[in-house]
Structure 1
């Protein structure tokens, strides 16, 4: 990899809230579906994170479920994920890890020990699926709870490949008292501290619960949790305050995807701008460790009813100037050169990458040393080798990607 662009801004240490990171090459949350045979982090996951922690400045964990309402399949069924006709054909996240019990906390503690031992820092991305779960998923049944959403409006699409007939999304049960769900995030924040994370990232993007409350297409409530900008923002702000009560502002971040698209999300542009300008302004008043704005990505914009769903716009330009007390970060198909230019120009402080970290476990070191970043992703095994029954099987497309050779 050769470039005339000065990449040194990527490798300057910086402060993100209360956390000092050694470089600005950050690893975003990446669901990988390897918490087998249960949703408890395992030794293979320890190795996966350790590999990438050798050069990453900050690692945000894959989305960690705050409660048992999830997708994990208890029986062995072959699952395949790939890009098909421009639409993302998903597994709906079987075998995603949780953080609601002691066994899970212990598993994450082992991962964080490995990350810290390799010189990196870690934030837990805490995650509630909201309306995009399925009532027939084994863990959803075991939870004894219905599929909740802010309103009884189903998302279009979805392919639950581990369920008979590969059903799509269902109409959720409107949550009667959202405060009950806020409490789940608070307990997850408590558990994340016990597990040894350096902070918590609240997942408010990609069509999951907080995003569902923000979007007027999925939230048509007429009480204090819906309708106006203030009311649709209330749930996310309440979650943030609950997490801050545990961690303090300097160790709490939030991820936003204003362009929408994923999980059938998106409002008209004018309403999107109005909503996110208000929400980001209110978030920034808290002085969080960071706000990460996810740029438009075709990968996260599946085709629904023959067309893409996202509301494309330049999110850093549209909202970046509103971030004054928090640290502004971004992600979404940056090249290293573009990321360095954004940092040098003061547009962002650091940049997250996702897929490049999948197939380049030494990504930051590769960029710094001019090594190629062209290893293709094994899409067949991106979300787990579901036809494999052992952790050795699950290494394929996970921990078996090559490191570059260095002098």
Structure 2
């Protein structure tokens, strides 16, 4: 049977967020691609994001930028915590802004306990792995010096045992400093990474946060870190320039309270977030329950006989709580589903991830009715994305399907 072409109607509508008008509702996810020069973004990164801006993305979020040197599972990950990092990012931002209408956010990221003490960057920096409490994640993907990964969960494998953060306000100030640097670099806004088991979500979860001070012990206290981070970012950027990414139904990083406690925690958090003048709330993962045979270590994993991953319908549970911020939806959403989710008001913008990796003009091609020519069957192995040889391979060498509306000097075609 001939494949039907999805009529692109709602996805191509503009969207106003504060004083910025997005040209359409096609968002690009912050998928890390591991091609920084050590911890510095480079010209190739600029070309990658530039191509996607040229290809019609209405909103682009740069892959997570670390607010301090951390031993992540991902090599060649950029930072934004020094003046020199800011200058490197400025060159990337300037490249993206060569495309009229391009909107480019910086995602601010701290991995917390999802780090490795023996990683080169962390050895050089000399700081311990930190987290809300000194509780090691019972799963991890531990790299050796050759980039070989051990996927087996266990207390002696994977992520390092963290040291409890003595004063969370010190880390909040790091987020503030990085937000200032992102503004100096010329980004259009920032997104706080509060998803996928990283530091912000560790504070929210009582399996990782057993603090007895103002940052633990109750729903309100566990939400305090996220809310104070957001308040710091809004102080720097002003209203409608700050977003947050959340994953209420995933158990990555050995998180996952029982569903009832998870819903109570995120209901409180999202209500409080919506009192702030946020640009957006970005919710991750799909509505439907995921069949057991399709679950991954990102969603839940059986460790020591216990399952992590409080699966529940995220949008149905929390969408009604968001009245002021725009709602960004993410989670392997098809074009047909995207049109329906925008039509019925579930979301205001759809965040796509993998389609953008192999289709630099994903939005332009979809709008032009060239859906058949798009690549969707991308064999995406998260830990096989590191470049071998030429870093442009599998990064900036995918062809455009459509003819770009605007061509700036230096575009590689």
Normalising by structure 1, we get a TM-score of 0.89
Cα 1:382–1:368 shift into 2, 3 Å: farther
Q: Distance in 1 between matches of 2:302 and 2:359?
A: 31
What is the number of residues matched between the two proteins? 382
Is the aligned partner of 1:112 residue 2:93? yes
Q: For residue 370 of structure 1, report the CA deviation from its aligned partner.
A: 2.1
Q: Give 1:61-210 correspondences, 5 Å limit.
A: 61-71=62-72, 92-119=73-100, 120-163=102-145, 167-210=157-200
Aligned to 1:89: none
Give the C-alpha shift of residue 20 in structure 1. Answer: 1.2
In structure 2, the residue matched to 1:236 is: 226
Shift of 1:273: 0.7
Q: Aligned in 2, Cα 1:266/1:44: closer, same or farther, shift over 3 Å?
A: same
Candidates 225, 243, 250, aligned match of 1:260: 250
Gapped regions of structure 1 (runs ≥ 5): 72-91
Call closer, same or farther: CA 1:289–1:259 in 2, change over 3 Å.
same
Give the whole-Å Cα distance in 2 for the aligned partners of 1:329 and 1:35. 27
Q: 1:233 to 1:380 in 2, by over 3 A?
A: closer
Match of 1:28 in 2: 29
- Deviation of residue 376 (structure 1)? 3.6
Query: Hey, what's the Cα distance between the residues in 1 that align with 2:30 and 2:381?
Result: 19
Are residues 307 and 35 of structure 1, via their aligned partners in 2, closer, same or farther at CA, if it must alter by over 3 Å?
farther
Aligned residue in 1 for 2:299 = 301
**Aligned residue for 2:267?**
277
Match of 1:362 in 2: 361
Q: Which piece of structure 1 moves more, 274-283 or 355-364? A: 355-364
For the pair 1:9 / 2:10, whether they are aligned, the reply is yes
Tell me the distance in 2 between the aligned counterparts of 1:314 and 1:16: 26
Question: Could you tell me whether the CA contact under 8 Å between 1:34 and 1:384 is conserved in 2?
Answer: no
Q: Does 1:342 align with 2:341?
A: yes
Query: Structure 1 residues 14, 127: closer, same or farther in 2, change over 3 A?
Result: same
Do the aligned residues in 2 keep the contact of 1:266 with 1:310 (CA within 8 Å)? yes
- Residue by residue over 1:173-216, the C-alpha shift from the partner in whole angstroms, topping out at 9 and shown as x without a partner, is 00111111101100000000011100000000000000000011
TM-score when normalising by structure 2: 0.87
Indicate conservation of the 8 Å contact 2:244/2:282, yes or no: yes
- Tell me which residue corresponds to 2:411: none
- CA RMSD after TM alignment: 2.1
Query: What's the counterpart of residue 81 of structure 1?
Result: none
Contact 2:11 2:342 in 1 (8 A): yes
What are the ranges of 5 or more consecutive residues in structure 2 without an aligned counterpart? 151-156, 405-413
